[in-house]
């Protein structure tokens, strides 16, 4: 595992977009299947650009998996970052969904725990052909080890109920449920340092 370099970002954009193509939140924010890949590429490209400067985007040598982390006290998005994310779904055919999508994103941020200081796993994905090989666990490991060494917690929101068991194996526990407006449920999860 290694930190992603700038020249990895274009490849990771595609891998992460493919990883989320069937994600319930992606399907909710972009129900039009023919647009979803383009919307996801825009979203993942934007998140990579926002989080890469923290130098905690971890990937595999073949760039088939990535974990995008925000360090403690740096997980809040700015209004400019929120606008950039909203632009990803700003398509004429998706205009009726935009208020719900924006409200969902803002609702997630409002529910994000303010204390104690923690690492935030913003995105974790593995390109579908590479899934099932332990790559997701591998790209999580460097920051989770740092959490343990520094005595700092970690937080995420799972958008798939089927992923809860995966995160539980890494020490995360569900802390509640977050229902998106007219959409799917997400599961906030917290991990205490070991």
**Rounded Cα–Cα distance for residues 161 and 176 (Å):** 12
Q: Name, in order, each residue with C-beta under 8 angstroms of 99's C-beta and a sequence gap of 6 or more.
A: none
Summarised one tens digit per residue, pLDDT across range 25-50 is: 999 888 888 999 999 999 999 999 99
- Domain limits at 158? 2-191
| Counted domains in the chain | 1
At residue 85 the predicted structure's pLDDT band, cuts being 50, 70 and 90, is confident
pLDDT for res 187:
97
Q: What is the CATH number of the domain that holds 111?
A: 3.40.630.30
Contact yes or no for 156/189 (Cβ under 8 A) = yes
Summarised one tens digit per residue, pLDDT across range 70-81 is: 999 999 888 899
């Amino acid at each position: 595992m290694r930190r992603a370099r700038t020249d990895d970002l274009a490849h990771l954009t595609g891998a992460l977009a493919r990883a989320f193509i069937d994600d319930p939140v992606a399907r909710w924010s972009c129900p039009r299947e023919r647009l979803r890949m383009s919307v996801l590429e825009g979203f993942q490209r934007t998140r990579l650009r926002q989080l890469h400067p923290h130098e905690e985007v971890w990937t595999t040598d073949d760039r088939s998996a990535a974990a995008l982390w925000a360090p403690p006290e740096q997980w809040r998005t700015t209004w400019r970052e929120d606008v950039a994310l909203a632009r990803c779904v700003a398509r004429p055919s998706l205009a009726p969904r935009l208020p719900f999508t924006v409200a969902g994103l803002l609702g997630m941020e409002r529910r994000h725990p303010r204390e104690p200081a923690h690492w935030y796993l913003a995105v974790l994905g593995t390109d579908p052909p590479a899934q099932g090989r332990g790559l997701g666990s591998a790209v999580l490991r460097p920051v989770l080890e740092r959490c343990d060494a520094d005595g700092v917690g970690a937080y995420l929101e799972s958008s798939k109920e089927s992923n809860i068991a995966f995160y539980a194996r890494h020490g995360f526990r569900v802390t509640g449920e977050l229902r998106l407006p007219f959409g799917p449920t997400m599961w906030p999860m917290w991990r205490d340092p070991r």
